[in-house]
Structure 1
């Protein structure tokens, strides 16, 4: 039986760790006959074609406010999750999207809820990325139901549109089995990072909501909760409408912490865990859940004694007039397949960290200086440096508040990183490898088992900012969700309380 003092989130994390002694025995051949289709289709509904508004330059709609409105919405959706390439593969076609996904499986679905605008009737829409269109599959006013499901969150009071992101679990579980839950939320974090930045380019401000009644939002979308589940809600404040410019609200709410659970067979763990990270119905009217007291510490978590401290403050990346280079980068982003082994410069690493962790540096470029995350206080960053000119090899803790690197271990880790990343050459040949971690036990104590979702989406969101900055600077970048969990802490000297969530490799592309 599981240890009862462990919550289901802790149990899931332990059960899905990769270990060098057991990984080979767990591997199985993929059943290609059961490969899931990464697109959702509707047989009934009316379609709104967005393609004409994506292709036209903004100047073409200067004197047509209706077309300009459509263009802003179309480009927001396209830059967030649109198709950016078609690649032939094994007799079929692989479609790549603007947000990266483990194994190219794309478990997320993007829905749009309209309160009812002069141009977009009320109801539910699914973003059809293959055709760049919105499928209007439910034509009734559902906004009050959305508000109720989100505990009457203040950002839904005056906004007219909201994005709901769901996960189709089997798309990832087909390949990654129970561990797919981690990758689903990392992938969703990539998507959230894209939505945040694409919204800024198109004069929207997304408000992130992770605390909602799961059954209520699933019912709202008419989805089968055994196959698909809502995981994030994002009201879109139109920055060109002063009535919609609301202050941000709470992004994360707690769930229960489940410790009394049966023995769960392999293959059923993902479904069981997701069900027990949900916020249940029964709360009526206004919010009536335990209050979360987020720590607003002015200091970074770790300040190791006698460690070398290296400042990282730098000049912000310039994203071009009207963020044009950011938009281009979101379109051309690709995950790097191989590194040359050549060194990065320290200035390049500092620029990557600045864009990812210092949004206040981008006020003059009209980017959000405080974008929504669930709780970045829970996420820590460690960097294994193997080839950065001007920086000694070793493992560093990145202190974002102090804007400095703190070296905690002196060593070149190339061979160890090759091993830790399951023998992937990306780990061996990268110039720097970023590790996002969290104290899982402490996080669960604050938010319950649902925090497992929040942690991985926040890590993926940070990873996507690293992605885009690296691509813009002509660097290589690739995320890794498969690694030997416990051995990472041991080899790099990362505190044992820190559970590794995500790895991002950086280097010069081959």
Structure 2
């Protein structure tokens, strides 16, 4: 192989690392308490209650096979806002809590290795009914939205942070998933990092399918300026960092967008 670095990065996709880990020495097996299910927040902060997923009138019932068949990466969006109840459904579908087990564990609407769920969901809101523009964070335990902060020229800065790809700046909302690696490292040590990436894929596919129920579209983004995205979210880039993104907007149906 001409590039020796290539084999190193290919090894990340393998699971041979488990043969070299003494799992008896993980923080879990040493009796250290697990990290919390979600990041803490100031209860006096600006928080928006979300409609319960079981009472959403704007979400249509669709056949699962149709949702899978119609799933497309959509990069062109209408100027129509996403409704708050539609956003509520998309958040529930991607990171909603089915049952909290204890301080460090909860069953969600997506699978995660060892029930560790190392992701947090941030939103770059540009055109959502009842919400001002800004950066938000989803609180899955409460099914509420935490307003983090406003950003001047947010449409411009989100585009700059994805190397000029224009569609996040025209979307109603962009889902931004961050990883908190220690949630997974607590259980799996050096075997944690591959499965965090796999978990992100589970979450984003649920977003694709859920969009089909609200006449919306999305397109996953894995090419972004790491430092710029972490700065935009005001996270440290070490113990928490951006891992995946997906803009969402309303679309015409039927459509002729490129399928990928």
**TM norm. shorter chain > 0.5:** yes
1:436 — aligned with what?
Answer: none
**Are the aligned partners of 1:73 and 1:202 in contact in 2 as well (CA < 8 Å)?**
no
1:45 — aligned with what?
Answer: 45
Which stretches in structure 2 are left out of the alignment for 5+ residues?
Answer: 60-79
Q: Residues 168 and 57 of structure 1: is their aligned pair in 2 closer, same or farther, counting only changes over 3 Å? A: closer
1:86 — aligned with what?
Answer: 100
Q: Are 1:32 and 2:31 counterparts?
A: yes
Which protein has greater RCO, CA pairs closer than 8 Å, 6+ apart? 2
**Are the aligned partners of 1:42 and 1:137 in contact in 2 as well (CA < 8 Å)?**
no
SS of equivalent residue, structure 2 residue 89: helix
2:186 — aligned with what?
Answer: 174
- Report the Cα distance in structure 1 between the residues aligned to 2:234 and 2:140, rounded to whole angstroms: 20
**Are the aligned partners of 1:114 and 1:143 in contact in 2 as well (CA < 8 Å)?**
no
Q: Are 1:112 and 2:91 counterparts?
A: no
- 1:79 deviates by 1.4
SS of equivalent residue, structure 1 residue 45: coil
- 1:116 deviates by 4.6
1:202 — aligned with what?
Answer: 214
2:145 — aligned with what?
Answer: 134
For residues 429-465 of structure 1, give each alpha carbon's deviation from its aligned partner in whole angstroms, at most 9, with x where no partner exists.
xxxxxxxxxxxxxxxxxxxxxxxxxxxxxxxxxxxxx
- May I ask how many residue pairs the two structures share in their alignment? 234
- 1:80 deviates by 1.4
Instruction: Decide which of 153, 163, 169 is 2:175's aligned counterpart.
Output: 163
Q: Residues 57 and 169 of structure 1: is their aligned pair in 2 closer, same or farther, counting only changes over 3 Å? A: closer
- 1:38 deviates by 2.1
Instruction: Decide which of 83, 106, 112 is 1:101's aligned counterpart.
Output: 112
- Report the Cα distance in structure 2 between the residues aligned to 1:246 and 1:111, rounded to whole angstroms: 29
1:18 — aligned with what?
Answer: 18
Q: Residues 10 and 144 of structure 1: is their aligned pair in 2 closer, same or farther, counting only changes over 3 Å? A: same
Q: Residues 195 and 226 of structure 1: is their aligned pair in 2 closer, same or farther, counting only changes over 3 Å? A: same
- Report the Cα distance in structure 2 between the residues aligned to 1:72 and 1:208, rounded to whole angstroms: 19
For residues 152-191 of structure 1, give each alpha carbon's deviation from its aligned partner in whole angstroms, at most 9, with x where no partner exists.
2132242221110111111101111111111101111111
SS of equivalent residue, structure 2 residue 177: strand
**Are the aligned partners of 1:207 and 1:237 in contact in 2 as well (CA < 8 Å)?**
no
1:265-276 equivalent positions in 2, closer than 5 A: none
2:244 — aligned with what?
Answer: 232
- Report the Cα distance in structure 2 between the residues aligned to 1:228 and 1:59, rounded to whole angstroms: 34
1:228-377 equivalent positions in 2, closer than 5 A: 228-239=240-251, 247=257, 370=259
Q: Residues 71 and 224 of structure 1: is their aligned pair in 2 closer, same or farther, counting only changes over 3 Å? A: same
Give the TM-score of the pair, scaled to structure 2.
0.78
Give the TM-score of the pair, scaled to structure 1.
0.42
- Report the Cα distance in structure 2 between the residues aligned to 1:212 and 1:247, rounded to whole angstroms: 23
Superposed CA RMSD in Å reads 3.1
**Are the aligned partners of 1:155 and 1:247 in contact in 2 as well (CA < 8 Å)?**
no
- 1:232 deviates by 1.1
Q: Residues 143 and 41 of structure 1: is their aligned pair in 2 closer, same or farther, counting only changes over 3 Å? A: farther
- 1:42 deviates by 2.2
1:139-154 equivalent positions in 2, closer than 5 A: 139-141=150-152, 142-154=154-166
1:186 — aligned with what?
Answer: 198
- Report the Cα distance in structure 2 between the residues aligned to 1:233 and 1:246, rounded to whole angstroms: 23
SS of equivalent residue, structure 1 residue 209: coil
**Are the aligned partners of 2:56 and 2:89 in contact in 1 as well (CA < 8 Å)?**
no
